[in-house]
Structure 1
Amino acid sequence: MRTRALIRRLVSSISFFEFFDMRDLDFNPNNLPKDVLEALGLITACSAHSDYVIESGIAGCLGVNIEYGSAVTTHMTTPHRKDVFLAAAELRIDDVHILIHLEDLLDELVDALKVRNGYVHNSPAIDRSTNETFMIRTEARGSVDVSLIPLSVEVILRDAQRIYKAGISLYGLLDKLGLLPKIPDGVRPNRTHKDKAARKKIRKSRRDRG
């Protein structure tokens, strides 16, 4: 996609258009430098790991295994997970100082995951003429704001490690408190007779019969 077309699609600001029209940007992610792609991949992997830590904390505080916890937390937003985690932790943990420590670790992790959002919810691009890489960051909280941010592999890797370290610190506390949820042993019970697909099939059969 050419720069001019993307700019017109994003925003109608003349000053914004004039600024970006000076560059020849390629938005095909396949053309990004390998080290940039690897760093962005690490951000994603570290984030998935840290998301799992939060989900595990919720399940552990609720006293259910990870399978039951996943049924509740998998599709929650990060802010929702944070609220549920703190509410469950308040019920489970009696020591206020430990609870404050957990909240501090969770705050740091949630803040780190916000940095992740800046990478995965915006468009990376490479300048064909200079081989520089950028992120087109768009915000529209009451006003449209679009900015061109240089991408540095060093900064991306630093952010990835921040996310990982925040997650593993919280994991360590959960482990120390005995709040890591159990993982079910062995083969899981067969649920094909009552799973989503089975229920959908039964409903369709009922409708067809009138």
Structure 2
Amino acid sequence: YTLAFQCVVNIGVRGSETIRTRVVDAGALDVVVNVLERYLEESARRKRGAEKELLEGSRKTVASIVAPPPTAIVDQAEGDNGRPQVEDKPNEEGLQYRDEDVLLSLQLLAYLSKYPHVRSPPSTPTLSSNVFSLVEAFTHRPPTSDPHAPRHSNEVQYWAGVIMRNACRKDESRGGIRQCANMQCGVWEKYAREFAKCRRCRKAKYCSKGCQSSAWGRGHRYWCAK
């Protein structure tokens, strides 16, 4: 699988616009969406498991202080350290994608998303916003106060940022109009320069102040670069 996926990525990265269009027509975006979705789901599952383990450990500590047991008995369902084991199940399809798979997916999408007609194929009009919503999650930099939140490498964050800025490109085939950079909105301008640009990065454009505020909270603050 990995070797085949690397071949597809190399074709998409090094190919011409025509070849990249064929890569999309062959279903590459579906593969990218699957990789990113499954990876984020697995990361969220691990975060919930770690938080649950920490909470149960805290409860046991408090209980032992309030009413210490007469003898130290380790339940068989617990590990050697006396803490409950977090069951590490793979996702429903039994496949856990690696960081390398995510990086390859983002690199491929970075080149495919340069072209508005490629990133928004007529056959799958809702796929584009779905892809960019997923990618935006890989730009996040969680605070140190949240040790269980997934943390992505600088390289992953870089390529995710490139993709998000590509999403803000105007579509010359439609008169130079742009799409609202709030990935939950996706409304297109009726005419060029209808929407206001982000004053900081001058890349993202929004159809309203509400969309701009919502997008900032969802992740634009992580890829908004001067």
Does TM-score exceed 0.5, indicating one fold?
Answer: no
Which of the two has greater helix per residue?
1
What range describes the TM-score normalised by the shorter chain of this pair?
under 0.3
TM-score by length of 1: 0.26
Instruction: Return the structure number with greater strand share.
Output: 1
Larger RCO (alpha carbons 8 Å, 6+ apart): 1
